[in-house]
Structure 1
Amino acid sequence: MQDILKSMKNIAVVGFSPNDTKASNQVGCYLIDMGFNVFPIYPKSGEIKGRKIYQSIDEISEKIDTIVMFRKAEFATELAKKAINLGVKNLWLQLGIVNDEAKQIAQDAGLNFIQDACIMIEHKRFKNDKSK
């Protein structure tokens, strides 16, 4: 987990809601506030915190190193395959999202894979551990 947190720079947040009461918005905005280059992925167009919303990860022209997913677990299998095709290093399924098929696909291809964990909580913990 620490390897992922140390290596993250360009992060696609799949399911990044513009609704600031949603966990995906709170986590995505936290990542932006921490200085990461965050690409919101959401079905509706617009902006979140000054960042263009992309409707698909395929629309992003920059190299993504990490995908954080806030969608239903069944979408993770296809996302794992897409991550491999895009050369993404890290795939993170947020708290409450578990897909063992996606895990197997990602790990077989050499991706770092986390599921059922909140990237914001883990980043805060990692940041606090580093400062000790």
Structure 2
Amino acid sequence: MSSPTDSELREILARTRTVAVLGAHTDPNKPACYVPDYLNEVGYTVRAVNPVFAGRRMWGEPCVAALTDLQVAPGELDMVDVFRRPEFLLGHVPEILAVKPRLVWLQLGIRHAEFARTLRDAGVDVVEDRCTLAEHRRLGLPRRGE
């Protein structure tokens, strides 16, 4: 699903409720801040993951150092939205598989064939090289719950 259709994207974004942002940032000029800001504003529950900001409140929740610190049951997390450079992705595979999200979304410009294949082989869908904010707007999707 690295190149999902518009229909598939609509379905993904409609069923998603909770988004963990891997590589979340506090600088409003960085996509890892303004994209999750947007997702939060349109009604998604956004959980920040970044060891640099662990303990700080972001989008109404405490930021955690790793996905496994979110204390969610496998399958409870809808999406991991990734803002990490490709060379760091394989290092996140164990924690991603531990929380077993329905989907891992790699932001615009991020692709990694082995990472994506490993997750897909484990039953996790992967979208590569797309921006959640841009796709939500482009598809004209409403706020969650509307």
Q: TM-score, normalised by structure 2?
A: 0.79
- Matched residue of 1:58: which SS? helix
Q: State how far apart, in whole Å, the 2-side matches of 1:65 and 1:20 are.
A: 24
**2:73 aligned with 1:54:** no
Q: State how far apart, in whole Å, the 2-side matches of 1:107 and 1:78 are.
A: 16
Gaps of 5+ in 1: none
Aligned to 1:103: 116
Aligned to 1:121: 134
**2:84 aligned with 1:71:** yes
Q: State how far apart, in whole Å, the 1-side matches of 2:25 and 2:141 are.
A: 30
Q: Please say which of residues 109-118 and 75-84 is displaced more in the overlay.
A: 75-84
TM-superposed deviation, 1:125: 1.9
Q: Deviations over 1:35-88 (max 9, x none)?
A: 111101112231224331111111112331110110111222233443233221
- Matched residue of 2:13: which SS? helix
- Matched residue of 2:20: which SS? strand
Alpha-carbon spacing, 1:84–1:49, altered in 2? closer, same or farther (3 Å): closer
The one-letter amino acid of 1:52's match is: P
The one-letter amino acid of 1:19's match is: D
Q: Given that residues 76 and 102 in structure 1 are in contact (C-alpha distance below 8 angstroms), is that contact kept between their aligned partners in structure 2? A: yes
